[in-house]
Amino acid sequence: MSVRLFVPCDAGALAVGADEVAQALHKAALERGAEVEIVRNGSRGLYWLEPLVELETAQGRFGFGPVTADDAPSLLDAIIADKPHKLSLGLTEEIPWLKRQTRLTFARCGIVDPLSLDDYRAHGGYKGLTRALTLTPDAVIAEVTTSGLRGRGGAGFPTGIKWKTVSQTAADRKYVICNADEGDSGTFADRMLMEGDPFVLIEGMTICGIAVGATKGYIYTRSEYPHAIATMAKAIEIAKKAGLLGDKIAGSNYTFDLEVRTGAGAYVCGEETALMESLEGKRGVVRAKPPLPAHHGLFGKPTVVNNLLSFAAIPFILDEGAKAYADFGMGRSRGTMPIQIAGNVKFGGLFETAFGITLGELVDDIGGGTFTGRPVRAVQVGGPLGAYFPRALFDTPFDYEAFAAKDGLIGHGGIVVFDDTVDMSKQARFAMEFCAIESCGKCTPCRIGSTRGAETIDKIRRGERVAENIALVEDLCGTMKLGSLCALGGFTPYPVLSALKHFREDFGPQQPRLQAAE
């Protein structure tokens, strides 16, 4: 009997022993003389079950997890004998956490072999590009505009309008940049997709290049993501060999080339103008806008800069049509959002769903509360520049406008859960400290204000003139918000002010606290 197993090669799975599990399964198979094929897939995104081993059957894939190397012999015995195993999860697709998702962008992640073009095609890959090649560039852009897709990096700018601006700007050379500089804590969707389904990004960027008339694309990602970089680079080589990148893409008259570039540990390079400076080989210092990147971007040429998740949504939109995408969502937030649930949470991972689900459903219902078993006290949504939400705001629907109305942001869709041992003045201080570490130094409110902010919160925590110093921090936040060019200095006030507003009791002389979760 031949057995086909899937063991993820996703960095999150590797961090909890997926390689060791794959090796142990291989060894156990040799010992038993069993014919076992082990496919290294991406992650399904159910991280509390990683390493999640799957068995291919006629009914679908059966999951087992979390598997350790020690479990491998007994697991293989059970599989060969067709007997139940203590780690059996049943059909993976039937696991409620996965079943209730709407996976459009992540449709293939965790299912396909990330570097198999045949597998990608067998699961609907390159159908979007095929259709795009039958349309005029303007019609492709119209499709993207109609889909209602907005920038998934957090700013939420309509993607189609950005593309149209670049397409209408005349130039001898244009660029497409994928912002995969996913530095927000609590986010890992870009990493997962690059490791689990790299061709969807290549396809999305290729469609963009064709639509706007760009011939060169860059994927700018983080040095903290070595596995994603390696997979992405290999996928690009495979696509080139298959005639899907380079000259005469898929037999058309279009040219589009792609390259991965690696940042060097600067958070601010996730800001699009700093990113372009970095790509040009300079310090990642933010540029003033205007001019917009769409007019005057990389090397002064018209440039589309989109988040990875925006590009990854494109193949579906072109394949299934704008309406199919826009049918999901609420208000002006159309389609689906890959939400990442992380931190002190029982069931953490990637949950792609239509906009409109409430924060409370995400944290309590889907996330299952904290893994420490203590009550959830706060959640930070949208990374280090996102606001902290108390339980009282858990009825907020996940939607760009709804979060803005509550003085927050959805950012790149990361949710970090904290239990009741969290010290919110410490978190506010960290926001300032992080801004001080990562500031590019261009704007004074960000460069100096962040350091002064951390010092002032220290004073509050020591009990020095608490009311006056709180007023000072609030005033400083106003200056940073209005006086900084980019979101780093401009949004650092979100976590600080939200902590002050919703958790004021934590700002004052420090009492001995409960031990932090371990």
Partner 1 sequence: MTPVYETWETARGAEIIAEHSKMEGATLPILHALQEAFGYVPEEAIPMIATALNLSRAEVYGVFTFYHDFRAKKAGRHVLKLCRAEACQAAGGDALAARAEAKLGIALGNTTADERVTLEPIYCLGLCATAPSAMLDGRLVGRLDEARIDALVSEAQR
- Three-state SS annotation for 101-124: CCCCCCCCCCCCCCCCHHHHHHCC
| Residue 340 binds to partner 1 (criterion: CB under 8 A) | yes
Question: Applying CB under 8 A, which part among 77-85, 157-165, 237-245, 283-291 lies near partner 1?
Answer: 283-291
CB of 414 to partner 1, least distance (A): 7
Euclidean distance between CA atoms 445 and 166, whole angstroms: 32
How do strand 336-343 and strand 333-334 relate by DSSP bridges?
Answer: unpaired
Shortest CA distance to 220 belongs to which of 127, 106, 303? 303
Written as six digits, the tokens of 92 are 């993976």
Minimum CB distance to partner 1 smaller for 54 or for 181: 181
Site string for partner 1, 71-110 (x = CB under 8 A): ----------------------------------------
User: The tokens of 93 are what?
Assistant: 């697709």
Q: What is the CA radius of gyration of the chain?
A: 24
Give yes or no for residue 349 binding partner 1 (CB under 8 A): yes
What binding mask, one character per residue, do residues 372-411 give for partner 1 by CB under 8 A, x or -? --------x---x---------------------------
Number of neighbouring beta carbons within 10 Å of residue 253: 9
Residue from 133, 359, 422, 436 that binds partner 1 (CB under 8 A)?
A: 422
Restricted to residues 300-339, the positions that interact with partner 1 (CB under 8 A) are none
Binding flag, residue 341, partner 1 (CB under 8 A): yes
Q: Contact with partner 1 (CB under 8 A): which of 299, 365, 395, 463? A: 299
Which of helix, strand or coil describes residue 355?
A: coil
Using CB under 8 A, pick the residue from 33, 84, 96, 281 that binds partner 1: 281
Q: Which of the residues 219 through 258 are near partner 1 (CB under 8 A)?
A: 222-226
Q: Does the protein bind partner 1 through residue 264 (CB under 8 A)?
A: yes
Edge-first strand listing for the sheet containing 303-307: 257-262, 216-221, 175-180, 303-307
Interface pick for partner 1 out of 191, 287, 296, 412 (rule CB under 8 A): 191
Q: Is 359 in the site for partner 1 (CB under 8 A)?
A: no
Least separation in angstroms between residue 228's CB and partner 1 is 8
Pick one of 188, 256, 325, 355: the residue that binds partner 1 (CB under 8 A): 188
Specify the residue, 56 or 347, whose C-beta has the smaller distance to partner 1: 347
Tokens of 233: 């680079």
DSSP 264-316: -S-GGGGSHHHHHHHHTTS--PPPPSSSPTTTS-GGGS-EEEEEHHHHHHHHH
- Between 133 and 205, whose beta carbon lies closer to partner 1? 205
Which of positions 13-72 make contact with partner 1 (CB under 8 A)? 14-16, 47-48, 50
Phi and psi at residue 63, in whole multiples of 5°? -100, 150
Please state the closest distance from residue 364 (CB atom) to partner 1, in A: 16
Cβ distance 196 to 10 under 8 Å?
Answer: yes
Please say whether the beta carbons of 154 and 337 come within 8 A: no
Based on the shown chain and the rule CB under 8 A, indicate whether residue 348 belongs to the binding site for partner 1. Answer: yes
Quick check: 267 and 256 in contact, CB under 8 A?
no
Q: Return d(Cα 427, Cα 491) in angstroms, integer.
A: 15
Q: Could you tell me if 242 and 200 are in contact, meaning their C-beta atoms sit under 8 angstroms apart? A: no
Task: Tell whether omega for the bond before 114 is within 30 degrees of 0, i.e. cis.
Answer: no
Q: Quick one: 261 or 481, whose CB is closer to partner 1?
A: 261
DSSP H helices in 51-135: 72-81, 96-99, 117-122, 127-132
CB closer to partner 1 out of 132 and 393: 393
Contact range with partner 1 by CB under 8 A, out of 127-135, 163-171, 345-353, 357-365 = 345-353
- Site for partner 1, rule CB under 8 A: 11-12, 14-16, 47-48, 50, 182-188, 190-191, 222-226, 261-267, 278-285, 299, 340-345, 348-350, 371, 380, 384, 414, 416-419, 422, 427, 430, 434, 437-438, 440, 515-518
